[in-house]
Amino acid sequence: MGPLANWIAASRPKTLPAAIAPVLVGSAEAARQNDIETWPVFTCLVFALLIQIATNMANDYFDYIRGADTEERIGPERLVSSGRILPKAMIRVAVGLFALAFFVGLTMVSYRGGEMLIVGILAIVFGYGYTGGPYPLAYHGLGDVFVVLFFGIVATVGTYYVIVGDVTSSAFLLGLPLGLLANNILVVNNYRDLETDETAGKRTLAVRFGRSFARRQYLWQLVAAFLCVSIYLGMTQNFWAALVFLMIPVGAGLVVALRKTEGVALNQLLGKTARLLLLFSILLAGGIFISAIGN
């Protein structure tokens, strides 16, 4: 595998729907309220992708430094622990991407106001602090909070705010389910890595409470995601968004699969969970866009 392929792998493409989904849905909700310009949407998408990729690369580096990535790990091969990317190179690129995200975010500040600077800095700080810094969130069972908050609520409401200049309860109700479904990707990851995480002192929720808790968490986060959309439908009377309920059988199948899947096969389930998030967001955004065209 060549150098470029190594860096693409380090970005963890399967996780990128977590960055795309909130921008897609937040933009759709903005279109339902107002006409939108293309470049703020593009800026939000680039910022979200940079934060996601930088966080993934920092995670690769810090998990190696803290001993969480070992030969016993059954997940996809990590680039630093495998020797395919040098540790110094990985952390330098991660920090560089965080810096690039900051400068991209400055365009949102010029467009919408100084409050976006605070949001952007917090996203960068917590992205780095997910596995880095003096109190790494993922090592203290707080990774789930970070994912739901920043890759769901903040990203969706932030996108909506950049475009419209307002914060609404409907945007919040769209962001929360995306965060919950994004966190299900993390749940599968932590479920798979429970033993090696425990050995490394990485106290994820799966390590703290066990696999049966993780399976219930996956189920109830899925249920809560569809419940949030139901409340959104009741509030807005935008019934085209009900297209997202076509994903209920897919989600139910993944819940069953998590109970039956072990070992390396969990890598495929993680990918399917990411695809569920992407399809969920496409159907949700599509339904909202259709209603926007009809108005």
Q: What is the pLDDT of residue 294?
A: 62
Minimal CA–CA distance to 29: which of 285, 232, 227?
285
Dihedral through CA 241, CA 246, CA 249, CA 255, nearest 10? -40
Return d(Cα 133, Cα 80) in angstroms, integer. 18
Return d(Cα 174, Cα 167) in angstroms, integer. 12
Domains: count for the chain = 1
Q: What is the pLDDT of residue 221?
A: 98
DSSP 148: H
Average pLDDT along the chain, 295 residues, taken 10 residues at a time: 85 90 94 84 94 95 85 78 93 97 89 86 93 92 93 94 91 96 95 91 94 97 97 92 96 96 91 95 94 72
Is the whole-model pTM more than 0.85? yes
CATH code assigned at 183:
1.10.600
Q: What domain range includes position 205?
A: 3-294
Q: What is the pLDDT of residue 172?
A: 96
H helix or E strand, kind and range, residue 105:
helix 87-112
Minimal CA–CA distance to 30: which of 205, 289, 258?
289
Q: Which phi-psi region, left, alpha or beta, contains residue 203 (left: φ > 0; alpha: ψ -120 to 50)?
A: beta
Return d(Cα 192, Cα 197) in angstroms, integer. 9
Q: What is the pLDDT of residue 275?
A: 95
Return d(Cα 125, Cα 119) in angstroms, integer. 10
